[in-house]
Structure 1
């Protein structure tokens, strides 16, 4: 029988990218949801109109959510920002016996989702969270590196995005929500409080990015990687191009009054202003993403340092490729692991490398 996939938040740029990947690489029937009653979907998906359906859906309506989830084989949750989402969709999937994937990029949501691991396992439901590009492809790059060392000790992940990354205003909201509070990072074998957007560092990324500046940033990988691998330190840093956006973000994180930053209407205004700005600079900067992963430790009894890099010309499309490939593997039952898992705990390096090959993606691996 033909598989059926439900994409929550499927009309945004991330959701559209995921839908495009699944429609391209599987024969599944795809249902995309959104809050609007208008039925039009992205022109990018028009060629798949025979396998595409639109469903208006309010995620807060529990009965409608359950009715939408119960007849499908896989749910892909793309309706961020996840700092403002509950785990209702995941819990409904568990109750209905439906597998689940999301593009979540928030530590608080991640921790809440992982609390459902035992109930998902008991229900035989495989739920993989934090898929996409970062987190997602980045997590698998770390696992790939960890497996190269006999005794890994430290993980460093650096990300840079050009302009908007090709994503919508939701990504802007996520950034401003994530820089409001200090967060816990695993440093020197203990959890330490880190102030967001601090400790500026210049990193040499592959072309066309070159040297770019990154800052401490709260990502769910900083939590899950520390839990899943025996390392003493996990560093996650993020930056944007052009560089003046980094300075604006630093000012927002450190100079704006905290009460103002916690006001939803102010965050919404900042997000829309930022989106309008990047819509102009994207024409010059592009919308790409670069990842650099360094893993330090021991190999053959000697200190060793492994690093890998990944580049794509659209962060939004790369997210679709990462999430879509995992969805494909779940639909084909290549990945079956009941429970709730971050990418690095559910996707083997062999499957990750198959995904890269199938999507024409390259991760460059090096030692020094």
Structure 2
């Protein structure tokens, strides 16, 4: 998704891509049980590598919490810094100067537990696979019990900002992590069989890994059964739907601000009032999540 966002921005925008942010959410263990537990615990022992204006920086794992809106079916979730490989590959391959990645889970107390582990356990302990496996065996029964309540929904959101103010995102949400992983694996397998890849081991962003002209088909296959899939759209199209408070007053909640919609003419035209803008929206625009023509 990140590569496609960058490609579209370079084609459609006058500015240059300058900031890429990855956000991930999984309910419970996503049904993966010990596998995701072990991976998560091991990552807590690693410093987070991120990039700020081209400079490589290292940060504390599971810090820097942000509340991110993953749209319908998922909603707003807290996510935390984690050391994920796509940060480096996006910086090196796509040439984005500022890149970071965050992850969060549910219920909320799992996030608290992950944060506590980074403070109570040493990095050396968390890097020891034997000790981590013992932790996994200890927590696995409880995690599986909670999974039965939390479900296994998964969501990925990728935000790209450009120097001219353009801000677009890609969003993938599915009810079942296990099914979505199977679909994605099958999509890549088909791409290999169809000759859309080159021999070798490649980062997903590299054209040798998946040919540029084959990426749209890959995404279409991988997103089968999603509850929400959006590419190259502004954030306001993803986030919370407007809610009527009564007397023709609506509220639209964006990522960084709440704006008021006031009924102007019997319910057909609505004026958007914010600190620095005033635009007219129709009911159709709001309910269909479309921004009116400029």
Distance, in Å, in 2 between the alignment partners of 1:340 and 1:262 is 26
TM-aligned CA deviation for residue 207 of structure 1: 2.6
CA distance in 1, matches of 2:64, 2:33: 28
In 1: Cα distance, 2:79 partner to 2:21 partner = 12
Distance of 1:263 and 1:304 partners within structure 2: 43
The equivalences for 1:41-60 within 5 A come to none
Alignment counterpart, residue 86 of structure 2, candidates 211, 216, 221: 221
Matched, 1:159 2:19: no
- Distance change >3 Å, CA 170–CA 358, structure 1 → 2: closer
Cα offset for 1:279?
1.0
Superposed CA RMSD in Å reads: 1.8
Q: CA deviation at 1:231?
A: 1.4
For 2:229, the equivalent position in structure 1 comes to: 363
Equivalent position SS for 1:239: strand
> What runs of 5+ residues in structure 2 fail to find an aligned partner?
11-15, 236-294
TM-score, length-scaled by structure 1: 0.57
What is the alpha-carbon distance in structure 2 between the residues aligned to residue 280 and residue 266 of structure 1? 22
Alignment size in residue pairs: 224
- In the alignment, is residue 340 of structure 1 matched against residue 207 of structure 2? no
The residue matched to 2:131 in structure 1 has which SS? helix
SS in 1 for 2:202: strand
Instruction: Describe the shift of the 1:358–1:284 C-alpha distance in structure 2 as closer, same or farther (beyond 3 A).
Output: same
- The separation in 2 between residues aligned to 1:348 and 1:274, in whole angstroms, is 42
SS at match of 1:196: coil
* SS class of match (1:192): strand
CA distance in 2 between counterparts of 1:232 and 1:330 reads: 31
Corresponding position: 1:269 with 2:269: no
8 Å Cα contact 2:159/2:168 also seen in 1: yes
Distance 1:310 1:256 in 2: 33
Correspondence 1:351 to 2:211: no
Could you say which residue in structure 2 is the equivalent of 1:247?
112
TM-score, length-normalised on structure 2? 0.71
Q: Is the 8 A contact 1:310 1:364 kept in 2?
A: yes
Q: Distance in 1 between matches of 2:28 and 2:6?
A: 31
Deviations 1:299-336 (A, max 9, x none): xxx32000121101122222222122111111232x13
Bigger share in helix: 1
What does 1:198-209 align with in structure 2 at a 5 Å threshold?
198-209=63-74
Aligned to 1:169: 34
Extract unaligned runs of 5+ from structure 1: 1-140
Shift of 1:259: 4.3
Residues 1:235 and 2:100 are matched in the alignment: yes
Q: How many angstroms apart in 2 are the aligned matches of 1:195 and 1:181?
A: 8
Deviation string, structure 1 residues 257-290 (Cα, Å, up to 9, x no partner)? 3443344332112212332222111122111111
- Return the alpha-carbon distance in structure 2 between the equivalents of residues 259 and 356 of structure 1: 39
Contact 2:45/2:124 (<8 A) preserved:
no
CA distance in 2, matches of 1:159, 1:208: 14
Superposition deviation, residue 337 in structure 1: 1.5
Partners of 1:235 and 1:263 lie apart in 2 by: 25
3-state DSSP of counterpart to 1:213: strand
Distance 2:138 2:212 in 1: 40
Q: Given that residues 94 and 205 in structure 2 are in contact (C-alpha distance below 8 angstroms), is that contact kept between their aligned partners in structure 1?
A: no
Structure 1 263/208 Cα, relative in aligned 2: closer, same or farther at 3 Å?
same
The answer to whether structure 1 residue 187 and structure 2 residue 52 are counterparts is yes
Q: Which secondary structure state, in structure 1, belongs to the residue aligned with residue 8 of structure 2?
A: coil
Where has structure 1 moved over 6 Å in runs of 4 or more?
none
